[in-house]
Amino acid sequence: MQKIDWQEIEKAKQAAISVLLHNAHGPFNGLPRTAGWGYPEPYTRDLMFSIFGIAVSGNVELSISIRVVLETLASNQTEHGHIPSLVHDNDDRGASDTTPLFLLGTGIYRKLSGEADFLKNAVDKALTWMKYQSPSDRYMVAQQPTSDWRDEQWVIGYGLFVNAVVYSYLKMLGDDERAEDMCYEMKQFAIEDGYIPHHIHEGLMVRSKPYFAFLVVQGILL
Q: What is the pLDDT of residue 221?
A: 47
Closest CA to 101 of 56, 54, 44: 44
- The stretch 6-28 carries a mean pLDDT of 93
pLDDT for 176 beyond 60 = yes
Predicted confidence (pLDDT) at residue 110 exceeds the cutoff of 90: yes
3-state secondary structure of 43: strand
Task: Please give the Cα distance from 100 to 104 (Å, whole number).
Answer: 6
Least Cα distance to 99 among 169, 172, 173 occurs for: 169
* Mean pLDDT of all residues in 116-131: 97
Region 2-14: mean pLDDT is 89
Query: Mean pLDDT over residues 52-72, rounded?
Result: 96
Q: What is the pLDDT of residue 38?
A: 83
Alpha carbon distance 174, 151 (integer Å): 32
Q: Residue 216's pLDDT is what?
A: 54
Q: Alpha helices, DSSP H only, in 24-76?
A: 44-57, 60-75
pLDDT score, position 219? 46
User: pLDDT confidence of 212, banded at 50, 70, 90?
Assistant: low
pTM, full prediction: 0.86
Of 105-109, 129-133, 198-202, 217-221, least confident by mean pLDDT is 217-221
Residue 186 has pLDDT above 90, yes or no: no
